[in-house]
Amino acid sequence: MAQSLADQLYKRGIFPIQVLRQLIDEDIIHSNGDPVTNGQLQPNSLDLRLGPVAHRVRCSFLPENETVEDKLQHLSQHSFSIENGAVLEPNCIYIIPLQEELNLGRIKDWYDDGTDAPKISAKTNPKSSTGRLDIFTRVITDFSHRFEEIRPFYSGPLYLEVVPKTFPIRVETGQKLNQLRVRHGSSVLSDSEIIAEHSNNPLLFHQNGVALSPDELKVANGLFMSVSLHGKEGAVIGYKAQKHRDLIDLNNVDHYRVQDFWDPIYAREDNYLILEPEAFYIFASKERCRIPAHLAAEMVPYDTGSGELRTHYAGFFDSGFGEAEHINGAKAVLEVRSHDVPFLVEDGQTFFRMVFENNAFVPDLIYGREIKSNYQGQDLKLGKHFKQA
Task: Judge whether 375 lies within some domain.
Answer: no
Looking at per-residue confidence, does 178 or 372 come out higher? 178
Instruction: Express each pLDDT in 128-142 by its tens digit.
Output: 999 999 999 999 999
Q: Please check whether residue 288 is in contact with residue 225, taking contact to mean a CB–CB distance below 8 angstroms.
A: no
124 shares a domain with 37: yes
Please tell me the distance from the alpha carbon of residue 121 to that of residue 40, in angstroms, as a whole number.
Answer: 19
DSSP string, 94-144: EEEEEEEEEEGGGGGGG--SSPPPP-EEEEEEE-HHHHHTTEEEEEE-TT-
353 shares a domain with 287: yes
Instruction: Express each pLDDT in 244-294 by its tens digit.
Output: 999 999 999 999 999 999 999 999 888 899 999 999 999 999 999 999 999
277 shares a domain with 131: no
CATH of the domain at 225: 2.70.40.10
Task: Judge whether 365 lies within some domain.
Answer: no
169 shares a domain with 74: yes
150 shares a domain with 9: yes
The last residue of a domain, from among 131, 153, 184: 184
Count of domains forming the chain: 2
- Tell me the mean pLDDT in the region 73-88: 97
Give residue 176's domain range.
3-184
Output phi, psi for 120, to 5 deg: -85, 125
202 shares a domain with 164: no
Q: SS in 3 state form for 246-294?
A: CCEECCCCCCECHHHCEEEEECCCCCEEEECECCEEEEEEEEEECCCCC
pLDDT at 212: 96
The last residue of a domain, from among 166, 184, 202: 184
Distances (CA, A) of 254 to 314, 386, 387: 20, 5, 4
DSSP type of residue 40: G
226 shares a domain with 137: no
pLDDT at 367: 73
Average pLDDT, the chain: 90
- The most confident of 47-61, 112-126, 367-381, by mean pLDDT: 47-61
340 shares a domain with 226: yes
pLDDT at 339: 83
233 shares a domain with 150: no
Please tell me the distance from the alpha carbon of residue 197 to that of residue 187, in angstroms, as a whole number.
Answer: 14
Collapse the DSSP code of 163 into the 3-class scheme (helix H, G, I; strand E, B; otherwise coil) and give the result: strand
The last residue of a domain, from among 184, 218, 253: 184
Say which residues have a Cβ less than 8 Å from residue 128's Cβ, sequence separation at least 6: 314, 333, 374, 375, 383
Task: Judge whether 366 lies within some domain.
Answer: no
